[in-house]
Structure 1
């Protein structure tokens, strides 16, 4: 659906006075601490988070899926939903497609539709973790790592097709999440599985356009529970180093064993210039794909602490990063969940921007753990939401996107347009 801009203006008029008071107080406090608030606002405005096409519908578990109604039934309707989110927060200016779930039938028309919503196309994602009805060989025992060359060739061809679709849409990156692995000891030779995967990666890498990148995602378990071929950040980095400068690691916050120090992994990737981007979500137990910031907001802040330090350090030579949400929604309205996730990501980013870097570096050099903690928590405990609201107000978005979404009964309107029993394609 297309939002009536005047409704956002009316929403903002009722909240503008209170927002101004909150912003003025925070701005004064930050300026007293030596921060350039105008520069922070510019950085927040420029920070865009891609929405994955598969997150626009209700997700589920392996036991069931409970659709909420009004879900997008086509790629065109998915673009409409991302355009709606972007209109509300001005922070969701890109969409990431999963192929073959979202193959554009007319790339020119799809690009034009995306442009009408001020959207770009982020990384395109391949799918060799499911069998498709028209394929000749099964991925039951692997794809790029399979013992059968016919299966590997089929998986490689699929990735090349994904690149072609991405080129047609103006994307500049391919994301590969490889589910290949084993369920029982002795099922495969680890070294040979790695080498088969590397050979497959090389063939895909050679097909990349000159200005493209490939992001190699890792995951320690699931769907296979004894081993995965790309099990951790070290394996991802090893593949990237063997492939070349266009190969970069991708960090999914849910793809780690319990209590993993993700912020240290981020630092290592940055140090090697091999961090490609993020799939943001949150988790309690594993790859839960929960709303960003719902469980571990302090860890998210610590991750952004490393990101901001690395992105501003003259010692770090890392390409520009790709930011994307990767979440599933079983009991929430997907659009509400995505609004909350974008807000949580930008809160953590804003908090990281107001860390006193010079003071923190001094405390680190003096091994003053107490003072280092105080500096970090001073930034973390600052309510930066008025900064985000001010950016939205300045750029014509809603001061309170989620409140506006509910006030306007947008989900009910989508159900009226699309039906109460619609299911998102691809899920």
Structure 2
């Protein structure tokens, strides 16, 4: 199914008058505060977030998975779904593929379809945390496995992912390891870390000079006694041993409860070591909930650190990658992604409105109340008219989910693909 510009324009026309009133009111307030509205809207328009191929079907947990019908059955249909998201939101123009599930059967067909839809290929994702028919099992680890033949197999897989990405025009490799142990004494933690470093060095050496390696961390799951890369410090340690094109990837759900993620972001930017983000949200751990559904203020504070670090020259905004990484067991995944893209845009916009000059003065003067007021004033502002205007100017729908439901997109996808279609890799 394709959504036309005519569909979008016709739907937008019905709400333009109300939208313009809201935008004019907010613009008047912000203009009095010295905010350049149109420069702000341009920044919102430019901020793009990648979508992972695995987020387009119904997700699940180890307890169960509930299909919704009309799921993409192959890579072509995944690209078509991202095309739907792009048409509606104009906020995502790239896809992050998961190998081996997304190996193209015909590269020219895939690149041609992506070009037609205006979609590029973000960082590639390897998979050494599942068994999918490879010669040796990853049950006891991959890059840090005690058995060298298994480590070699995992290295070869990552190099294969790099080769696939080169054909598609990707410029990065994301590595997340499930490696670790469930019981004391099960493995040598020091040896496992050394083997992981040696394996990553081989992978890093195989990357093209214009690629970057994004190294993820996670404190627990699927291993609960120890994981080889449990935190940002270990990831940073390994990245620094590899070279300046290896940096730390922050998944918002990969933290223990109440972790100060914005401090981690500030620390990584201070070292120019932040590779990018996997956006999601959590209540207890790696819940993979919709971004901003639980902790929108935390997301806002993270963006405050990102924008501050970029403006202060700690690390360039362009060097950071952005992607959603969530699992959708009870929602239509396309609607969930639209919700995530919206709240990310809103928190980003609010962070742009922070009066940094005033905030800095409060910090230097020790004015704790004043500093908090600077943040609260920006966070409490309703910036939805600005986000909506940016989307409309880019050619997107004023209300993406409303139009998605009006056009009965899921119903059409079920008719095209079947009620029992299942997305690959889930």
**TM above 0.5, one fold?**
yes
8 Å contact 2:175–2:213 — kept in the other structure?
Answer: yes
Shift of residue 287, structure 1, vs aligned partner: 0.5
Q: Distance in 2 between the 1:156 and 1:56 partners?
A: 28
Q: Distance in 1 between the 2:77 and 2:147 partners?
A: 39
SS in 2 for 1:399: coil
Shift of residue 359, structure 1, vs aligned partner: 0.3
Instruction: Note if 1:80 corresponds to 2:80.
Output: yes
Shift of residue 318, structure 1, vs aligned partner: 7.2
Instruction: Note if 1:208 corresponds to 2:194.
Output: no
SS in 2 for 1:151: helix
Q: Distance in 1 between the 2:201 and 2:269 partners?
A: 23
SS in 1 for 2:15: helix
**Corresponding pairs, count:** 426
- The corresponding residue for 1:55 is 55
Q: Distance in 2 between the 1:61 and 1:137 partners?
A: 25
Instruction: Note if 1:398 corresponds to 2:411.
Output: no
Alignment of 1:235-384 (within 5 A): 235-316=234-315, 320-384=319-383
Q: Distance in 2 between the 1:241 and 1:27 partners?
A: 45
Q: Distance in 1 between the 2:97 and 2:374 partners?
A: 40
Q: Distance in 2 between the 1:317 and 1:355 partners?
A: 19
Q: Which runs of 4+ in 1 moved over 6 A?
A: none
Shift of residue 29, structure 1, vs aligned partner: 1.2
Instruction: Note if 1:177 corresponds to 2:176.
Output: yes
Shift of residue 317, structure 1, vs aligned partner: 5.7
Shift of residue 398, structure 1, vs aligned partner: 0.2
SS in 2 for 1:254: coil
TM-score, scaled relative to structure 2? 0.99
**Structure 1 residues 229 and 60 mapped into 2: Cα distance closer, same or farther (>3 Å)?**
same
Shift of residue 386, structure 1, vs aligned partner: 0.5
- The corresponding residue for 2:100 is 100
8 Å contact 1:248–1:274 — kept in the other structure?
Answer: yes
- The corresponding residue for 2:423 is 424
- The corresponding residue for 1:158 is 157
- The corresponding residue for 2:67 is 67
Shift of residue 311, structure 1, vs aligned partner: 1.2
8 Å contact 2:269–2:314 — kept in the other structure?
Answer: no
Q: Distance in 2 between the 1:241 and 1:396 partners?
A: 42
Cα RMSD over matched residues?
Answer: 0.9
Q: Distance in 1 between the 2:75 and 2:287 partners?
A: 25
- The corresponding residue for 2:128 is 128
Shift of residue 319, structure 1, vs aligned partner: 5.8
Residue deviations 1:362-416, cap 9 Å, x none? 1111111101110001000001111111011112110000111111111111111
SS in 2 for 1:403: helix
Shift of residue 315, structure 1, vs aligned partner: 4.2
Residue deviations 1:159-200, cap 9 Å, x none? 000000111000000000011000001111111111000000
Alignment of 1:181-192 (within 5 A): 181-192=180-191
- The corresponding residue for 1:217 is 216
TM-score, scaled relative to structure 1? 0.99
- The corresponding residue for 1:387 is 386
Q: Distance in 2 between the 1:123 and 1:272 partners?
A: 22
Residue deviations 1:125-180, cap 9 Å, x none? 000000111x1111011000000110000000000000001110000000000110
Q: Distance in 2 between the 1:44 and 1:121 partners?
A: 21
8 Å contact 1:108–1:169 — kept in the other structure?
Answer: no
SS in 1 for 2:14: helix
Shift of residue 39, structure 1, vs aligned partner: 1.1
Q: Distance in 1 between the 2:96 and 2:395 partners?
A: 24
Shift of residue 313, structure 1, vs aligned partner: 1.1
8 Å contact 1:273–1:319 — kept in the other structure?
Answer: no
SS in 2 for 1:109: helix
SS in 2 for 1:174: strand
Shift of residue 4, structure 1, vs aligned partner: 2.4
SS in 1 for 2:130: coil
- The corresponding residue for 2:114 is 114
- The corresponding residue for 1:91 is 91
Residue deviations 1:329-382, cap 9 Å, x none? 000000000000000111110001010000000111111110111000100000
Residue deviations 1:269-324, cap 9 Å, x none? 10000101000000111101000110000000000000010111134467611100
Structure 1 residues without counterparts, runs of 5 or longer = none
